[in-house]
Each structure stands twice: as C-alpha cells, then as structure tokens.
Amino acid sequence: MIYTTSSRRGMVTAPHHLASDAGVSVLRDGGNALEAMIAMASTIAVVYPHMNSIGGDGFWLIRPAAGEPKCIRACGTSGENVDADLYAGQRAIPSRGPLAANTVAGAVSGWEQAEVTSRQWGGRLSRDRLLEEAIWHATQGIAVTDGQTRLTRAKLPELAGIYGFGEAFTPGGVVPEPGARFDQPRLGSTLSTLAKDGFDSFYRGALAKRVAADLARAGCPVTAGDLQAHTAQVVEPLRVRLANATVFNHPPPTQGLASLMILGIFDRLTLPAAESADYIHALVEATKQAFLVRDGFVTDPNDLYGDPQVFLQDAELDDCAARVNLSRAMPWPAPESHGDTVWLGAIDGEGNSVSYIQSIYWEFGSGVVLDETGIQWQNRGSSFSLDPRSINTVRPRRMPFHTLNPAAALFDDGRSMVYGTMGGEGQPQTQSAIFSRYAHYGQSLQQAITAPRWLLGRTWGEESTTLKLESRVDDVVVDTLRGRGHEIELVEDFDDVMGHAGAVVRHSDGLYEGASDPRSDGRAGGF
C-alpha cells in the first residue's frame, strides 16, 4: 500500500533516512525549520557522499509562518582567473577534474545566512547541536548504500585518476560494498571546525586558508581571494498564480522560472484525465514551451536582459499555452543537462517552512577531493560555455546556470507546501507531476511521488533526447504518445534518472503530511 506519513507537530523529508532523522531530532529539541534544515543539509553531505558535499551550492526558499517567502542564493561564482584562456585549445570545459572545479562552493554560506534568519525566527540551538549528527557520521562512519556502490563502480573509469578521488571513495583500492563502513575523518574535522569557528570560516579565516591551499595543490583555479569575495544573498522569489494556489520558486541563475511556467501553461489547458496520455502529453508540451524561454533567458542575474517575472504574467502564459498542440508533439532538440542534487523540505510546529536544494552538479561533482579538509568539490562551472556568443559564456566571477530550483506553494484553503527533487533537466518536469497530481487531481502526497514519471531530454549523462517513461506507464498510454510523435524510451520501473523527489504539506488544522521517493534511500519523518 502507498501511505503518506502524517503527524501533528512538524515534518521533514530527505532522500536519505539519516538526514531526515537529524531534522526530526532538531524539531524535537525545539528547533525551527531552518535549524532542522541546517542539520539535514550537513548530514546529507556526509551520508550521501556520491550525491552531495559541502563543496557544492545551495538554494533556499523560506517562509515564516506569518510572512512573505524569501530566497537565499548560496551560489558560488567562477574564480577571478577563470576565463576562456584557461581552456585554450579545448572545445568545452572539462566535466571532471581540477579545471571543472572552477567555481566557489556556496552551500556553507547559505547555512550561515539561514542561521542568521533562524535567530530572527526565534531559533536558539547551538551550531554544535545542528552539526552533531553530521560530525558523528563523518568520524564514526556510515553504512554504504546500494546507490553509492553502484555509482562508484559505474563512474570509476572516468574518476579513478582524478585528484583525491581514489583515496576517498575506494579505500584500499576497492569499491566499498553495500553495508560496509565508510569513514570520512577529514570531512568530520572540517565540520567540527565549522561548528566551533562559524560557517563564515569556510570563506575567511584559518579554515579558508586550508581550503584554498587544498585547492591550489589539486590544481583548481579557485583561490583564497575567490573564497573571501563570496557571500550568500537574500533575494525575492518568483511566483505564479494558479487556479487554487500561488506557487513560488527561485529566480535566475536557476531554472525556477521554467518550473513555474510549466504549471502556469498547464493550468490554462483543458484538464485531462490523470495519468492519461493527454495528461503526460500536455505537461511535456508545456515543458517544451518553458524550456525555450529558459534556454534563451536564464543566466547570471547580473546579465539578465529583463525581469523574469514578466514571463509569468497572464498574457505571456496565455501565448505559450496557445502554442501547445494537444494532438501532436513539437520536435525537440534539447541541450544536454546533467544533475546530481538533493532536495530537502521541512515545516516546523509554528508553520515556518523551508524548501532547500543542495548540489555538486554531477554525481561525485568534479571528482576532486581535497587533501586536508576532505571536501569533494562541485563541477557546476563545467556548464559554462566557451562560445562567446552564449548567454552563459565563461568569464571571471560569474554565476553559472543552475538546474536547481526549490519550490513552495500556498493554497487558497490555507495549506502550505514545500516540494522538489534532484535530476537536472527533470527537476521542473517532476515538480509539475507532483504538484498537478496533488493539487489538481487529489492524489495523496505519497501517491503523487510514487506514480510513474517521465523525463524529456538528457540528464545524468544520458545522450538521448527522448521522452523517457518508466515501464510502469500503461501500454496504451505509451502507444498513444508514440502516435502523437513522441520518441519514447522505456526505462526501469523505478529509475534513478527520474530523480529523488519529496514533499511536505501543512494543513490549516495543524495536520502535517510528508512523502519521500521510493527511488531514493530517504523517508519522511514527523512527530
């Protein structure tokens, strides 16, 4: 049976059960949703090391129980020495190795800003308490998951020779088996330093000097000056008004605009039957319209040619909806986009909510693991283009395009919802499936996440631009979609390519509901 987790005092969800446990523990100790999320974010960076690290970026969508939502943009820029000349003679920026580790890791700066905001929300737990679980798991070891073993084996041919990877992920020269103990003492020491000296020490101070020295030894172009120049920023979210709710997401450089556009376009189409070919076709075609806007507009927010909120106005969405052909698929050559990310959600007993996504881009990021600090560094900057005509061309101190986008919704009946997923190109598509199933069709939260999903385009290293469907989709639906011109590729019944999603809802009567993805190692936890 498919059951949605429920409780009356608070709820969290994460793609690894130990991260969920860390969040619930903080809520039980009187912490708020932001404090719970710091605990979860630090823990997931330890217990899901193939998926995440403190050497990545983070994006927050936060809302106090009685107030307007805000975003925390903890996104690092490229280094001051990172430009096209650094990659002279290459056709593209390398996806792995030191030259892929070309942007500052912003995630920890987001923890710092969240800590400041938490105090404004009445938070009182110490930093030691918030990082307690992460430090323990790093120093005492975790049980290796099936996913870590599988991905380590799959990616070892391209990662084995990269600086620090082998020592960190294949101790003794072998891939650890599921259930094996996996220690990360250097990372544990770094987390202990953050607990003692503060999150800002990652960018300024003694720890920052060690991180910079580590990066230099590895041959990465990020410098001490780049770390010192970085800060997280509080920015306004994007929003779209739907029939029964207002939905929020993160502004550029993320693809949050596309996520909201898909929902806005779908809201204007004749509502098809749930899980039918019409339903999937309508959302896929809405996705194409949204991605066309995204690919021509979203870049570093300092370089935008206009206000992204304009694309969410009624007239713009009406025009996009009018271009959707409900009986024929539009041809789709899509740009390549990978994704390796975690989404986490929390709503506390007061109704404060957090939707958070933390990423190192691809699985294992750049593959670089730093000597002294044990930090695995992201490869987000490999998404920059070497084409000077591109809207995302590489240059110093520039934010790369991000697939990351945490979502939240306020329903007219008083419900509040946070939801999201990992999965690169698939993030907006999975978000649209979860939200529409729950909001339009009345499916339970867990059912909306467990139901068969689809993915248009490339992600997780896939080379095909097909419409990928999980094999649980009804054969009649598959045949109908093929007949409308979709190039179909069937994947596993519960396939990682579809991402690891989650959602939490708080009802106006104080009921909390949470759901986690059966494709992940996670769970929803309440009390």
**Residue whose token pair is 């430009």:** 83
**Spatial separation of the C-alpha atoms in residues 354 and 501, rounded to whole Å:** 15
User: Which pair of structure tokens corresponds to residue 273?
Assistant: 């039957």
Residues ≥6 apart with Cβ < 8 Å to 171: 182, 183
- Find, among 76, 16, 20, the residue nearest to 346 by Cα: 20
Q: What is the DSSP string of 364-424?
A: TTTS-B-TTT-PBBP-GGGGSBS-TTSTTB--TT-PPPB----EEEEETTS-EEEEEE--T
Between helix 256-266 and helix 314-322 the angle, nearest 10°, is: 70
For the chain, what is the largest distance between any 2 Cα atoms, rounded to a whole number of angstroms?
62
User: Which pair of structure tokens corresponds to residue 108?
Assistant: 């920890």
Using DSSP, state whether 474 is helix, strand or coil: coil
8 A C-beta contact, residue 31 and residue 12: no
**Spatial separation of the C-alpha atoms in residues 72 and 109, rounded to whole Å:** 9
Backbone φ, ψ for residue 102 (5° rounding): -110, 10
> Mind telling me the catalytic residues?
341
- By CB neighbour count within 10 A (0-12 exposed, 13-18 middle, 19+ buried), where does 268 fall? middle
**Spatial separation of the C-alpha atoms in residues 511 and 242, rounded to whole Å:** 23
CB 449: neighbour CB atoms within 10 A? 30
Give whole-number Cα distances, 512 to 4, 256, 259, 415, 522, in Å: 10, 25, 24, 10, 18
**Spatial separation of the C-alpha atoms in residues 384 and 367, rounded to whole Å:** 18
8 A C-beta contact, residue 316 and residue 366: no
- Find, among 473, 54, 48, the residue nearest to 274 by Cα: 473
